[in-house]
Structure 1
Amino acid sequence: IMERLLEQRYVIKFCVKLGKTGKETHDMIKEAYGDAAMGISGVFEWHKLFREGRERVEDDDHSGRPSTSKTNKNVLRVKNLLNRDHRMSIRMIADDLSNPQTQSFDMVKENLAMRKVCAKFVPRVLSEEQKANRKAICQDLLHHVNEEPKFLDNVVTGDKTEGCYFEKF
């Protein structure tokens, strides 16, 4: 996420050097980045800073205590917790890590790119390999259905909370 922001700040800096207005700059960024584009107030703020002579695109150092709970180690712990139980709530994760709920939520959403669907955390975006695997499985199932129309009658579905077993006949 930080790389995307820095990239957009470079775009703003470039547009300032070309003499573009803040509105033109925002429109170009919105067209290029879509939903991932910076907000208009952020674009105008950085546009003004670059117009006034700022050279750095990185944030200025802030005073105060640095965040110690949003570390790679804690992100990995959150990932392991969710791998064990996808139904964990943010409150449960925060209690396990002794973290604020807001930071636990940020780790799940931003660092792990997950969101809650039907009371389970799931990956927001599938990798190319996962997409290809799903496509292959769907094509295979479609082939079986076309070959044998009663194929779907043999498919058993259920929830993981149910005790399922089968016997060969």
Structure 2
Amino acid sequence: MDQRICIKFCVKNKIKCSETLEMLTVAYGETVLSKKNVYKWYKLFQDGREDANDEPRSGRQSTSTTDENVQAVKKIVLENRRITIREVAEDVGISLVSCHKIFSNVLGMSRVSAKFVPKLLNFDQKNRRMSIAQELLDDVNDDPDLLIYTGDESWVYGYDVETKTQSSQWKSPGEPRPKKARQVRSILTKRTVA
């Protein structure tokens, strides 16, 4: 809108269209209107148009983004964060484009992949690991020649592990990114702690 008003100003001051385009490019940089649009609006204002707003368009108004459809989409996605737009669109009975607009424009949701973390431990598990580590440290301090064997669990999969894309889910703007434990095999190691 601002650029259209600038074009109108240039027309009223009899500045050439090519110079108008150059001035807009300097002022707006990468967000400048295309050359075609600058010339189009320049011609419209030159022919006597005064209004910089778009003219109302005829055609069907969108009926898919109603409050009922938005609430239905929101309810479905909150029940299953991994559902696809196609599945939601089929469940609600709206087009894919309308469903995508509801997700991104109305609900402000985006699909994100889980953030990989080494382990997903609850508070008790974290405390237990801390106490064991403290006991081992105390033992080493008492006897510096002590050998300590450490190890970690081995993961045995009876299924294919999900890829990052497969584990992606919908997230609202204020929600934290979901976490997923990194599942790698580790081996038993022998270390001398001094």
Distance in 2 (alpha carbons) for counterparts of 1:80 and 1:8: 41
Confirm or deny that 1:33 pairs with 2:28.
yes
Question: In structure 1, what is the equivalent of residue 40 of structure 2?
Answer: 45
Question: In structure 1, what is the equivalent of residue 10 of structure 2?
Answer: 15
Confirm or deny that 1:57 pairs with 2:52.
yes
Question: In structure 1, what is the equivalent of residue 142 of structure 2?
Answer: none
Deviation at 1:83, TM superposition (A): 7.0
Instruction: Report the AA paired with residue 5 of structure 2.
Output: Y
* Cα distance change, pair 105–24 in 1 and its aligned pair in 2 (3 A): farther
Distance in 1 (alpha carbons) for counterparts of 2:17 and 2:67: 36
Distance in 1 (alpha carbons) for counterparts of 2:89 and 2:16: 44
Q: How many residues align?
A: 125
Q: Structure 2 stretches of 5 or more lacking a match?
A: 129-194
Identity %, equivalent residues: 35
Distance in 2 (alpha carbons) for counterparts of 1:46 and 1:52: 10
Aligned 1:46-85 pairs, distance under 5 A: 46-70=41-65
Deviation at 1:85, TM superposition (A): 6.3
Distance in 1 (alpha carbons) for counterparts of 2:28 and 2:44: 21
Instruction: Report the AA paired with residue 89 of structure 2.
Output: A
* Cα distance change, pair 61–113 in 1 and its aligned pair in 2 (3 A): same
Distance in 1 (alpha carbons) for counterparts of 2:35 and 2:107: 27
When normalised by structure 2's length, the TM-score is 0.46
Of Structure 1 and Structure 2, the greater strand share is in 2
Say which SS state the counterpart of residue 44 (structure 1) adopts: helix
Q: Structure 1 stretches of 5 or more lacking a match?
A: 1-5, 120-155
Aligned 1:1-169 pairs, distance under 5 A: 6-70=1-65, 88-108=83-103, 157=117, 164-167=121-124, 168-169=127-128
Distance in 2 (alpha carbons) for counterparts of 1:72 and 1:30: 41
Deviation at 1:50, TM superposition (A): 0.7
Question: In structure 1, what is the equivalent of residue 169 of structure 2?
Answer: none
Deviation at 1:165, TM superposition (A): 2.0
Bigger Rg, which one: 2
* Cα distance change, pair 94–22 in 1 and its aligned pair in 2 (3 A): farther
Distance in 1 (alpha carbons) for counterparts of 2:23 and 2:41: 15
Question: In structure 1, what is the equivalent of residue 138 of structure 2?
Answer: none
Q: Deviations over 1:107-165 (max 9, x none)?
A: 5555667766659xxxxxxxxxxxxxxxxxxxxxxxxxxxxxxxxxxxx925xxx8642
* Cα distance change, pair 99–164 in 1 and its aligned pair in 2 (3 A): farther
When normalised by structure 1's length, the TM-score is 0.51
Of Structure 1 and Structure 2, the greater helix share is in 1
Instruction: Report the AA paired with residue 27 of structure 2.
Output: A
Distance in 1 (alpha carbons) for counterparts of 2:27 and 2:2: 12
RMSD: 3.8
Q: Deviations over 1:57-84 (max 9, x none)?
A: 1111222222222457766776777677
